[in-house]
Amino acid sequence: MSGRSIESLVLALALAAAVIFAVFVNGFASWQNVSNLAQNSASLTILSCGMAVVIITRGLDLSQIAVMVAASTAFGILLTGGYGVPAALAVALVAAVMLGVVNGWLVAYFEIPSLLATLATAMLITGGSRWAILQGEFLVLLPKDNPFIAEISSGRILGVPLSVAVAVAILAVTGILLSQTIVGRTVYAMGDNIGAARLSGLPVRAVTLVAYVFAALTALIAGLIVASSSGAVDFRTVTNGTLLFEVIMVVVLGGVSLRGGRGSVLSIIAGVFLIAVLRNGMTLMNLSTQAQGLVLGMTLITAIVIDNYRNPRDPETETQGDL
């Protein structure tokens, strides 16, 4: 199956699931539920954009959720400490960029496999933030009456929730980055064969840095949306691993190959649509989190098996740029 056929299949499955839930699950087809589904999927969509770019390079960013929480924590601490929104945003932005640069530097210049490098930085970021900033606590409460927080959580643009509008904008930026820039062409070349890309003179190391910084920036944006909606930054988002699991599942399920070099914005849209519909429908059915995890886990395994079938290992490139 081609990439387009996989995306079409996933979209068709999502539509079929939506129809089934609409018929058999009370409240699924209501406008309020559709609006909630879109808003709840915004942060997942934004995170998936950053993860997709990294995976297309044949990398992986296991620290993305840790970066999200750490950058949001920096923002929240400064905001509650009396600093203005511009100062808090500036510090959070610098923190996210620095963490992305660290990840990219470890992968590009020290040539540490991205799986190990980002796993290590995730542990360092989470442990360091809780020890140095929160002194062992899990939560940072945000002032929900702050105009900036209120605008992110409940603001609208032309009637569209702000979080959804931001997610659409990030999808557009990701599409332009991948399809209209030298960085995007290099990203695909690296995923196809990083050795050949390096020998052809492409800026492989610089683009690796860009990919991980982009993932960190999407983490910051998603973190601000999640924290503003809930009124708190919760480090248990990192430790329970559910959100990271869903981000990877969205990307792979939509058609972004773990082998690298394959995938697009349509892949992200297809994956988010299916996972959001399944999660929402199962929640309305009052299925337990364990049962939902079982269904989503089987879905991810199926996606990986299909990915292995579509993109078998190439003996000439299988050791180059491995996760």
Domain boundaries, the chain: 3-310
Taking only the tens place, the pLDDT of each residue in 275-285 is 999 999 999 99
pLDDT-derived band of residue 24, with 50, 70 and 90 as boundaries? Answer: very high
Tell me how far apart the alpha carbons of residues 143 and 5 are, in angstroms, rounded to a whole number. 46
Q: How confident is the model at residue 240 (pLDDT cuts 50, 70, 90)?
A: confident
Instruction: State the average pLDDT for the chain.
Output: 90
pLDDT band (50, 70, 90) for residue 234: confident
Q: Name, in order, each residue with C-beta under 8 angstroms of 26's C-beta and a sequence gap of 6 or more.
A: 284
Mean pLDDT computed over 236-246? 84
Compute the half-sphere exposure of residue 223: CA atoms within 13 Å on the CB side of its CA: 33
> For residue 8, which amino acid is it?
S
pLDDT higher than 80, residue 75: yes
At 155, which helix (H) or strand (E)? none
Residue 9 or 88, more confident:
88
pLDDT at 28: 93
Residue 22 has pLDDT above 90, yes or no: yes
Name which residue leads in pLDDT, 323 or 71. Answer: 71
| Greater model confidence, 88 or 141 | 88
Can you give the pLDDT at residue 77? 92
Q: Please, which residues have CB within 8 angstroms of residue 50's CB and are 6 or more apart in sequence?
A: 61, 64, 214, 215, 216, 217, 218, 219
More confident residue, 19 or 3: 19
Residue 72, number of CB atoms within 10 A of its CB: 28
DSSP calls for 222-288: HHHHHHHHHTEEETHHHHT-HHHHHHHHHHHHHT--TTSS---HHHHHHHHHHHHHHHHHHHHTT--
Predicted pLDDT of residue 318: 52
Q: Is the pLDDT of residue 320 over 50?
A: no
The pLDDT > 70 percentage for the chain reads 93
270-310 confidence digits (pLDDT tens): 999 999 999 999 999 998 888 888 888 888 787 777 767 76
Residue 315: pLDDT band with limits 50, 70, 90: low
d(CA 20, CA 43): 25
311: left (phi over 0), alpha (psi -120 to 50) or beta: beta
Most confident of the following: 2-6, 24-28, 175-179: 175-179
Chain segment 95-142, per-residue pLDDT in tens: 999 999 999 999 999 999 999 999 999 999 998 888 877 777 778 889
What beta strand segments (E) does 51-96 contain?
none
**Is the confidence at residue 193, as pLDDT, over 70?**
yes
Closest CA to 10 of 310, 244, 259: 310
The SS3 of residue 60 is coil
Domain 3-310: assigned CATH number: 1.10.3470
Whether 4 has a pLDDT exceeding 70, the answer reads: no
pLDDT by residue (tens digit) across 135-188?
A: 777 788 898 889 999 999 989 998 899 999 999 999 999 999 999 999 999 999
How large is the average pLDDT for residues 23-43?
93
Region 10-23 average pLDDT:
92
Q: In a 3-state reduction of DSSP, which class is residue 157?
A: strand
How many angstroms separate the CA atoms of 42 and 229, rounded? 11
Where residue 58 falls (left for φ over 0; alpha for ψ -120 to 50; beta otherwise) is left
